[in-house]
Structure 1
Amino acid sequence: MIEKKYSKPLRTTTDFDEFSFYLQKNSFGVISTSTLKRLWGYVNDVHKPRVQTLDLLSRYIGFDFFTTFCSYLKNSSAYNSSFFSAHQVMAKELVPGAEVEIGWSPNRYLRLQYRGNAVFEVQEAKQSKLQKGDCFETATFLKGQPLFLPYILRDGVRTSPFIAGRNGGLTLLNCIEHE
């Protein structure tokens, strides 16, 4: 809701700097760039935001307090469970050897080969923490949604869970046709 009102997504350090300055310049209050980055998940941090920070952001989108905003969310159909439409690729619909391209911001790209039994192997990786030869399991890729993986199999060792496209989801999703 904040990004919608601000009319600009918050994805880069510059975006957070500009939004922090905008809030202060327009008399909403002061929130540091680092606090905004933590709230948006741009950086990993375990600090809980102060209520004053949440109240300030709630006022920016038209609510008196953060608790008022939370009440709105509990009763709003826009923020509760629902069905939705999305371009998707389901593993069960692929044949072994099929290839899938996925990408996410900023400039991440993977070309995957389906191995069967919901297992994919990375064939090509650009700007990603995943590497050629890594394998993982997933039943579905949904464009516009983050990809949650229970682990990456790298050199025979399972990693911790991995998330691709945390901010904004998958922006590229294609099945590659081979003749």
Structure 2
Amino acid sequence: MTMNTPEIEELKLLIEQKYGKTLGTTTDFEEFSVHLSHDTGQNVSASTLKRLWGYVNDSHKPRMFTLDILAQYLGHANYYAFVSWLKTSTRYNSSFFNAKQLISNELDAGTEVEIGWSPNRLVRLRYVGESRYEVVLSQNSKLVPGDSFVTGCFIKEQPLYLPYIERPDGRTAPFVAGRNGGLTIINVINIEK
């Protein structure tokens, strides 16, 4: 388990955005190490990058030298300058926002909800109570009828992050719907009784 702070996690995220690629394989780390060396004139080994990204288990704190080089790759003087920038950047301030949202505890059990996201994903859910939903119909999505999950709300134009999907054979890995652009459809379906 790496001992990373939220600032280090943000640094890694921004590096992957600038690099244009997620770092997830040995080859990725080796290629990025070479790229970083060309870009900054400094060397950070692939094994150091793997430890920082949590690709290999290691509980060492990253060296400041490493963090400084990575911050320089993003255009900052050093890691402390990057952290200062994070604190003042409006991009990272917590804020309240206006959004169309559907809050689970405002629904009655049995209510059906339709959610959708790009490209052409459409899922119909039945609310079973206690913030739990069951998938009834699914078009072009990895969610399948019979899956269930727990969420407190759906927010339009925001991704839906789920820690897991409950399936007959167990729980899945974390799941995100609408990673790019968020949920585009959130409707309560009125079923005629």
TM range (shorter): 0.5 to 0.7
What displacement does 1:10 show?
3.0
CA distances 1:49-78 after superposition (whole Å, capped 9, x unpaired): 633332111112232221332233234443
Secondary structure in structure 2 of the residue aligned to 1:26: helix
Give yes or no for the alignment of 1:78 onto 2:91: yes
Which residue is 2:176 aligned to? 165
Which residue is 1:124 aligned to? 138
Q: Structure 1: which 5+ runs fail to align?
A: none
1:72 and 1:60 map into 2 onto residues whose CA distance is 14
Larger radius of gyration: 2
Secondary structure in structure 1 of the residue aligned to 2:49: helix
Alignment-mate amino acid for residue 35 of structure 1: L
Identity %: 24
Name the Cα RMSD after superposition.
4.6
Change (3 A) 1:59 1:138: same
Alignment-mate amino acid for residue 134 of structure 1: D
Are the counterparts in 1 of residues 165 and 174 from structure 2 also a CA contact under 8 Å?
Answer: no
Give yes or no for the alignment of 1:155 onto 2:181: no
The one of 22, 37, 45 aligned to 1:24: 37
2:181 and 2:48 map into 1 onto residues whose CA distance is 25
The one of 110, 127, 139 aligned to 1:115: 127
Alignment-mate amino acid for residue 162 of structure 2: F
Aligned residue pairs, count: 166
Q: Structure 2: which 5+ runs fail to align?
A: 1-13
2:117 and 2:178 map into 1 onto residues whose CA distance is 15
Secondary structure in structure 2 of the residue aligned to 1:81: coil
Q: Could you state the TM-score of these two structures normalised by the residue count of structure 1?
A: 0.59
Secondary structure in structure 2 of the residue aligned to 1:175: strand
1:87 and 1:22 map into 2 onto residues whose CA distance is 42
What displacement does 1:27 show?
3.3
The one of 47, 59, 80 aligned to 1:67: 80
1:87 and 1:10 map into 2 onto residues whose CA distance is 32
What displacement does 1:90 show?
3.6
Which residue is 1:135 aligned to? 148
Are the counterparts in 2 of residues 112 and 120 from structure 1 also a CA contact under 8 Å?
Answer: no
2:140 and 2:79 map into 1 onto residues whose CA distance is 40
Secondary structure in structure 2 of the residue aligned to 1:165: strand
Alignment-mate amino acid for residue 50 of structure 1: P
Give yes or no for the alignment of 1:50 onto 2:52: no
Change (3 A) 1:49 1:169: farther
2:145 and 2:166 map into 1 onto residues whose CA distance is 11
Which residue is 2:113 aligned to? 98
